[in-house]
Amino acid sequence: MSTMSPVRRLLHVSRPEWPRLGLAAFLGALAIGCAVALLATSAWLISEASLRPPILTLEVAFVAVRAFGLGRGVFRYSERIVGHDAAFRSLTRLRVLVYERLAQLGPSGVPAFRRGDLLTRLVADVDASQDLPLRVVIPALSALLIGLGSAALAYWLLPAAGIILAIALLIAGVVVPWLTTIAGRRAEQRSAMTRGRLSSEVVEVLVGSGDLLAFGTADAAIDRARETDRELTKLSATSAAASGVASALSVLAIGTAVVTSLLVAIPAVLDGRLPGTALAVIALLPLAASEAVVSMPSAALNLASVRTSAQRVSEVLDAPDVVHAPAVPTPLPTGERSLQLRDVRARWALDGPWTIEGITLDLPPGHRVAIVGPSGAGKSTLASVLLHFLDHEGSATIDGVDLADVSDDDLRSVVSALTQDSHVFDTSVAENLLLAKRDATEDELLAVISAVHLDAWFADLPSGLRTPLGAHGTGMSGGEQQRLALARVLLADRQVVVLDEPTEHLDTATADALTADLLALTQGRTTVFITHRLVGLAEVDEIVVLEAGRIVERGRHTDLVTAGGPYSRALALDLQAGDS
């Protein structure tokens, strides 16, 4: 499946919707067909009428003309309804597919989870895929059907005219869009560098205006941007010409078809091969049929942009697994939980460098370990290993069973975690908490809210537990979000808790208050507390100092302070800054 081109893959995902897409394309063809038929029938009708036959002989044509007049709007409307319906259905399919893949990859398997903007782009890319059925497939299929139909009609009247029309439609509907796309891509390539430079110069002035003003370099920066902008405008001249040529070519193709059709049709009428009443039909058919191909250049451009989106979506679908579920899970024995790591190493890519190496750690039940070290030392990698979001080498066991052999459900029923940016879902307070424990009672919810010191915040909520949170709900500060996440952890009530930099994005005062509460509330659980701040660690059972993926120092706070190693040096800086 991965050998398929990204666009074909998108089409493949929407396969169950193909009948609907086909119907929409057929309705679209009927809509344009009505317009073509309206003009063709009218042309024949008035030619015939000018011969003044009994009016009854034209009755069918009169009815047909009116029907075609009605049909166009009705068919167009149905096409859009059926097409959008099919597009939404395919979108849901793709979303589910992408989500299932993301869930399988886990939080560590996709770089997007480490960068918010990438995540938003991925979601936008998935959403952009609905342009494929709506703005590419349906118009292209309709154009094909109606192009063939019109050419066939012309061919039936006069074979030469049919061939002429087919060639003209091919030029306007295939060649011109193809040229437009190529010219667009060329222009894009040529101006990509300049565009990139302009973009960073604009960002510099808008985002860095303070720095520029303070150092008196604002005018120079604006001049630079203006210069680049000029260059870009100059570069766009070629693509403007190309785009003009494409438009002209399409007008020329249809116009030439009209003139040449007349050139072949006039002698045919004179020597009786073509009835005179069909001459107007032959002359007007290219004009009417051109409507079928008019949307093809924009369909081609849409295809190009869908291709880019599809490419990025495919990258997620094809991302290599960073964690493997056990084929036959080993059940966990009951009892208190202890974790043991023996010479564990892990990495993010199959052939990449080891991010952590030689990690040995003992966590008997109720033991509390703090993992400290500068950013990039491998702390979060270790958290991913403990949560089995990332495969490891060496032995990492829980109650004697290797993490790699435990089923996901079993592991989650024992280990929970609090991460850097806990997500607040776009739903009620209650639902946000209940995901940690489906059957929690209201009293339990209120109890954990109170335990994490969110009482004051909660008291201000307009509708208590039913108050909506998240993007469409009440805003929360970073500290409140992390407290809500801690409430989830408490509600889930697991024996092992991993706290992965829970105070990362908080200001000092908020961070210190949260740290104190975190350590107090998780008392009695086996706890791994990952942090780069060395505050309030005096009471943990062991402090492990990581540097460049390896343990460089370990021990209790008091021992490490006297040892004079990296911990005490970092702590000294901390104290010098008056942090504790």
Partner 1 sequence: MKPLDPRLLRYARSTRAFLVVAVVVGALTAVLVVLQAYALADIVTGTFQHGLDVDALRPTLIALATIVVARAALAFLSDWAAQRSSARAKSQLREGLLAHAVQLGPVRLAQHRTGELATLATRGIDALDAYYARYLPQLVLAVIVPLVVGLTILGLDLLSAVIIAVTLPLIPVFMVLIGMYTSSRVDRQWRTLGLLSGHFLDVVAGLPTLAVFGRAKSQAQSLRKVGEEYRKATMQVLRISFLSSLALELLATLSVALIAVSIGIRLVNGGMDLRVALIVLILAPEAYLPLRMVGAQFHAAAEGLGAAGRVFDVLDEPLPVVGTRTDVPPMLGARFRFEGVSVAYDDDRAPALERASFVIEPGRVTALIGPSGAGKSTVLSVLLGFIAPNEGCVQIESAEGEAGILNTYDPQVWREQVSWVPQSPYLAAGTLADAVRAGMPATDDEVAEALREAGLPIDDAALPFGLATPIGDAGAGLSAGQRRRVALARALLRPAPLVLLDEPSAALDLETEARVVAAVERLRANGCTVVVVAHRPALVAIADVVVELPTVVVEGAVLS
Nearest approach in angstroms of CB 137 to partner 1 is 18
Nearest approach in angstroms of CB 532 to partner 1 is 9
User: Considering beta carbons, is residue 4 or 124 the nearer one to partner 1?
Assistant: 124
d(CA 37, CA 53): 22
Question: Please, where are the H alpha helices in 106-175?
Answer: 116-128, 131, 138-157, 159-170
Instruction: Tell me the CA distances in angstroms from 386 to 108, 340, 379, 417, 531, one per residue in order.
Output: 12, 10, 11, 10, 15
Nearest approach in angstroms of CB 12 to partner 1 is 18
Name the token pair of 375: 């950013």
User: Considering beta carbons, is residue 246 or 370 the nearer one to partner 1?
Assistant: 246
Nearest approach in angstroms of CB 393 to partner 1 is 22
Instruction: Tell me the CA distances in angstroms from 534 to 27, 209, 443, 503, 537, one per residue in order.
Output: 68, 36, 36, 12, 6
Name the token pair of 388: 């089995």
Task: Check: CB of residue 136 under 8 Å from CB of residue 303.
Answer: yes
d(CA 385, CA 390): 5
User: Considering beta carbons, is residue 63 or 563 the nearer one to partner 1?
Assistant: 63
User: Considering beta carbons, is residue 77 or 156 the nearer one to partner 1?
Assistant: 77
d(CA 549, CA 355): 5
Nearest approach in angstroms of CB 314 to partner 1 is 17
Nearest approach in angstroms of CB 343 to partner 1 is 26
Output Rg (C-alpha) for the chain, integer angstroms: 34
Q: Tokens 């309206």: give the residue.
A: 38
d(CA 504, CA 374): 12
Classify residue 552 as exposed, middle or buried by CB count within 10 Å of its CB (0-12, 13-18, 19+). Answer: middle
Nearest approach in angstroms of CB 83 to partner 1 is 10
User: Considering beta carbons, is residue 219 or 455 the nearer one to partner 1?
Assistant: 219
User: Considering beta carbons, is residue 74 or 343 the nearer one to partner 1?
Assistant: 74
Cβ count near 569 (within 10 Å): 10
User: Considering beta carbons, is residue 438 or 562 the nearer one to partner 1?
Assistant: 438
497: β partners: 416, 527
User: Considering beta carbons, is residue 358 or 478 the nearer one to partner 1?
Assistant: 478
Nearest approach in angstroms of CB 3 to partner 1 is 26
